[in-house]
Amino acid sequence: MNKKVFWIIVVVLAVIIAGLVYWNISQHQEMNEMVEQMTIEKEELEEEYEDLAIQFDGYQQMDIRNDSLQDLLSREQQRVQDLLEELRQTKASNARRISELKKELATVREVMKGYVRQIDSLNATNARLTEENMLVKEENKQVKEQNSQLSTLNSQLSETVIRASMLEVTSCTLTTLNKNDRKTKMASHIRKLQFDFVIAKNITCTPGLKDLYARVITPAGDLMGEEESKLFAFENGEIPYSLVQQIEYAGEAYQGTCYCPLAENETVQSGYYTIDFFCDGNLIGSFPFQIKK
């Protein structure tokens, strides 16, 4: 082999070796760039998974009144946690798995969008139902207030009707009588009290026979003619009376007279007396009068 051929071979080999060295350096540099790029993508993907996990935490803290949806959210949240843990353990050089995990993230996001729509729909429904419930409560409150007002009004009307149908003694005069039923002014001679009274006209009162009771109260506060058997009904009880008289009331003004005789040993005191009239369980008139010495 002559020198010329030798040098040609040397030059060719040198070129080949230089080419191989350059190619190896280029490949190594491309590999480093690829690993660096995958590392960046891996970190970004981890951040996206972490953001998604935070979103799931936020939804789990919401008042979601749907057990099935709550369970689905819990499962997807656990799935995100598992994928994030796997991503952290995956080497940046494993481009295939990182790409698969990126696709998994996209899938979870789509699933989550559906859940978000359901949550928004539930929240909107709950808000509407809450508003409707508040309206119903307000309406019920107004109805109760109206019923209360009507009840009060009915009670007032009933009381008015009762009062309107009550008899009323509008006037009463006293005449004192002796043992011969003659008028006397001397207290020591009085043996009977005569009361002339007038009952007003009342067309709303039920006509018919009525018992008119009277209580005569002495200046000392005692009841004249009090006896244990002489009782009448008044205000859910029974009280004694001095005298009773049956009258026939027809709705027109009624003039009547009643008498309160003194007991055998009873004497009349000077001073102010009171006579109270009762009918149908109601006090229908009260009049003071004076007896002098």
pLDDT of residue 161: 47
- Read off the pTM: 0.48
Largest CA distance in the chain: 190
State the Cα–Cα distance between residues 223 and 229, nearest whole angstrom.
Answer: 14
The single-letter code of the amino acid at 63 is D
pLDDT of residue 159: 52
Could you give the count of Cα atoms lying within 13 Å of 286 in the half-sphere of its Cβ? Answer: 4
Q: Are 197 and 285 in contact (CB under 8 A)?
A: yes
User: Starting at the edge strand that comes first in sequence, how are the strands of the sheet with 192-199 ordered?
Assistant: 169-177, 192-199, 254-261
Beta bridge partners of 287: 275
The angle at the Cα of 22, spanning 19 to 26, to the nearest 5 degrees, equals 135
Q: Are 277 and 258 in contact (CB under 8 A)?
A: no
Beta bridge partners of 244: 213
Q: Which two tokens stand for residue 94?
A: 């494993």
The three-state secondary structure class of 36 is: helix
State the Cα–Cα distance between residues 150 and 241, nearest whole angstrom.
Answer: 39
The three-state secondary structure class of 279 is: strand
Q: What is the pLDDT along the chain (293 residues), one digit of tens a residue?
A: 566 766 777 666 766 776 676 666 666 666 555 656 667 777 776 777 777 777 767 666 665 666 666 676 677 777 767 776 776 777 766 777 777 777 777 777 777 776 667 766 666 666 776 777 788 788 778 877 777 776 665 555 445 445 566 899 999 999 999 999 999 988 889 999 999 999 999 888 888 999 999 999 999 999 998 787 889 999 888 999 999 999 999 989 999 999 999 988 888 888 999 999 999 988 999 999 999 87
State the Cα–Cα distance between residues 137 and 240, nearest whole angstrom.
Answer: 53
